[in-house]
Structure 1
Amino acid sequence: MSELVQDKESVVAATTSSFSNTTPTELNHSRTFLDARTEEDLISGLRKEIEAGRLPPNVASGMEELYWNYKNAVLSSGASRAAHAVISNMSVAFDRMLLGVEHPFTFNPYHKAIREPFDYYQFVHTYIRPLIDFKNSYVGNVSLFSELEDKIRQGHNIVLISNHQSEADPAVISLLLEAQCPYIGENIKCVAGDRVITDPLCKPFSMGRNLICVYSKKHMNDDPELVDMKRKANTRSLKEMATLLRSGSQLIWIAPSGGRDRPDPSTGEWFPAPFDSSSVDNMRRLVEHSGAPGHIYPMSLLCYDIMPPPPKVEKEIGEKRLVGFHGTGLSIAPEISFSDVTADCNNPNEAKEAYSQAMYNSVNEQYKTLNSAINHGRGIEASTSTVSLSQPWN
């Protein structure tokens, strides 16, 4: 936990090199947070940056709130060097957030993870790893992930249809597969909503992922004046995805619910949000028309406790960042054939709905197994005939 991906001097050296069109004055990035050695240094640094006019008060307030939440979560793990990890990880996180405010990064419709000169991918892993209780985390059918890697290397396209629980989902996928299938984590391309590429507290973490950037249907009409722009942007992203699939060897993760899962307001129980059948069908048709062999697998995630979303969908950017230390889960099931599911359907719309429901049912069943293992304390014994749980990092 105490290991940093890069020492602070290497972070300074890489500070603005990954940004295009920088000027000599832009290279004078503040060292306030990288020089921090204590909690007091970090918190007073926020005040210093506000006074210098480099950090808006509302962003600084969000950063401070994140610090306290992250600290409480990591310390609750009981790890021997948890306090050191908090200061180390938050100092680099604050530095990246400040840099993003000073020199805003713009995401292309298809964004490739920035790995140098500053490795944002490993930065995310270092930050998220202390939040995962690996003793109470499980992967379902891990051997299937190894099979995916073989198919991708052979030129096949793979699409993972999944639920979506937190901003940490991509990192959870990578970290739970890091020991046995690191290729999956490094090569997965996530279909991401605009909020994770616009929120200043979230952008540095998004920069470390391969992203296909879209505007979520849930937020399409938040501002009527931007609807046309959002639709055109989504069309560009769709074309980028089609181009990628035509080249083969692609691994794409999409959550067709259009957003994160939310708990049942009456019971408080979490469950995968219903899928949008049009989103599932669009991916299916893109895969079928790519010209390369393609496969679609249902995948399930359980990790809401480490970064739970707001109880309700919010219009405004800048949600509160709650953080926790908890077990997480990831599972995958065999691919579902469209022709097998829809053989008895009478029309295309019925077939579309049937296929989407089959995907959702599989994700939901896997989720129940993960929930039994993690939240109900059954562990490996929660395995079923279709979901074999393991801890591949042990």
Structure 2
Amino acid sequence: LVELYHNYRHAVLQSGNPNASKIILSNMAVVFDRILLDVEDPFTFSPHHKAIREPFDYYMFGQNYIKPLVDFRRSYIGNITLFDDIEEKLKQGHNIVLVSNHQTEADPAVIALLLERTNSYIAEKLVYVAGDRVITDPLCKPFSMGRNLLCVYSKKHMNDDPELAEMKRRSNTRSLKEMATLLRAGSQIIWIAPSGGRDRPDPVTGEWYPAPFDASSVDNMRRLVEHSSFPGHIHPMALLCHDIMPPP
């Protein structure tokens, strides 16, 4: 927790915001409060988790925490008109899948922050396919509680503990059924990173590039979209935001 505070303080102070000190104290006080509350009474995520907006608004909690880390003067969304089209299709009952790379644990907040001014409907409706770490790590859990999630175990780490492998497979099957149910209902927008993990820089050049996608994950999404009762659209999405919270 001490390291988390110092890292956040250092990053926010670099923003040049005249209210940086107030923002740091306010946000970190809430973060520590939420982390300790969960330690006392741990929250358990269901396969399909819906963002908790009351009595405490975990969605805005995450937005407020990440917002000071984003330099909006240098940040942008390319092809923003596509999101207007996506929003219109969602309201007509269509399903949308965003097939994306994954750069930081803050990706959901970054996406929502950049969309909330023009497409707040999408920002709040997005469902993220999330790995097990962000729903079990005490530092991550309060932020994850503010997002719509489909919780899965990454294939990369399925057999890290052989005794848990079968439990993980059963859990993933339940999540897949939940996703199919959502898509059959229509008007869903789902974000998935088929690489199963975060991007890493090239060890030689230091250049960042998207981690390879798992072809079977992409194919599963295609089949689920095709077998739903509503028209479906799969869009590629590229993220470049690793500076906010670089992976280890």
TM over 0.5: yes
Q: Tell me by how many angstroms 1:288 deviates.
A: 0.1
| Aligned partner of 1:258 among 162, 183, 196 | 196
Post-superposition Cα deviations, 1:165-188, rounded to whole Å, max 9, x if no partner, equal 001001001000111001111000
Amino acid at match of 2:166: D
Post-superposition Cα deviations, 1:109-144, rounded to whole Å, max 9, x if no partner, equal 000000000000000000000000111111100010
- Residue 325 (structure 1) aligns with: none
Runs of 4+ deviating beyond 2 Å: none
Tell me which of the two structures has the higher relative contact order, counting C-alpha pairs closer than 8 angstroms and 6 or more residues apart: 2
Q: Tell me by how many angstroms 1:218 deviates.
A: 1.4
Q: What is the 5 A alignment of 1:104-253?
A: 104-253=42-191
State the SS of the aligned residue for 2:77.
strand
Q: Which runs of 5+ in 2 are unaligned?
A: none
- Pair 1:100-2:100 in alignment: no
Q: Tell me by how many angstroms 1:222 deviates.
A: 0.8
Post-superposition Cα deviations, 1:36-94, rounded to whole Å, max 9, x if no partner, equal xxxxxxxxxxxxxxxxxxxxxxxxxxx11000000000000111100110000000000
CA distance in 2, matches of 1:73, 1:123: 18
Q: Tell me by how many angstroms 1:244 deviates.
A: 0.3
CA distance in 1, matches of 2:72, 2:230: 37
CA distance in 2, matches of 1:101, 1:265: 37
Cα RMSD (Å) of the superposition? 0.5
- Residue 238 (structure 2) aligns with: 300
CA distance in 1, matches of 2:157, 2:32: 28
Q: Which runs of 5+ in 1 are unaligned?
A: 1-62, 311-394
Q: Tell me by how many angstroms 1:291 deviates.
A: 1.6
CA distance in 2, matches of 1:152, 1:289: 17
CA distance in 2, matches of 1:218, 1:100: 28
Amino acid at match of 1:288: E
Aligned residue-pair number: 248
Q: What is the 5 A alignment of 1:333-352?
A: none
Post-superposition Cα deviations, 1:5-35, rounded to whole Å, max 9, x if no partner, equal xxxxxxxxxxxxxxxxxxxxxxxxxxxxxxx
CA distance in 2, matches of 1:87, 1:269: 35
